[in-house]
Amino acid sequence: MAALVWLLIPLVVAVGAGVWGSWANRTRRARSDGPELDGYARFREAMEKSRSGS
């Protein structure tokens, strides 16, 4: 009987992780990469300016 309890623990954890994952994902909205790509473009421009100024 004790072996069944030890096997039940990972099962309960897996079910809990699945429930938490589905709950966490439901609040996520579809986002584009626009802000991240804009920030990267500004970073690259700043690096090019510092390199050409040397």
CA dist 14 to 5, 7, 10, 19, 47, Å? 15, 11, 6, 9, 46
Confidence at residue 29, expressed as pLDDT on a 0 to 100 scale: 64
- Per residue in 2-39, pLDDT (tens digit) is 899 999 999 999 999 999 999 888 766 666 677 788 88
| Residue 17, token pair as written in the block | 């992780």
Say if residue 53's pLDDT is above 70: no
Task: Round to whole Å and give the CA distance between 35 and 52.
Answer: 26
pTM of the model: 0.47
pLDDT at position 4: 92
52 has a pLDDT exceeding 90 = no
Q: Does residue 52 sit in helix, strand or coil?
A: helix
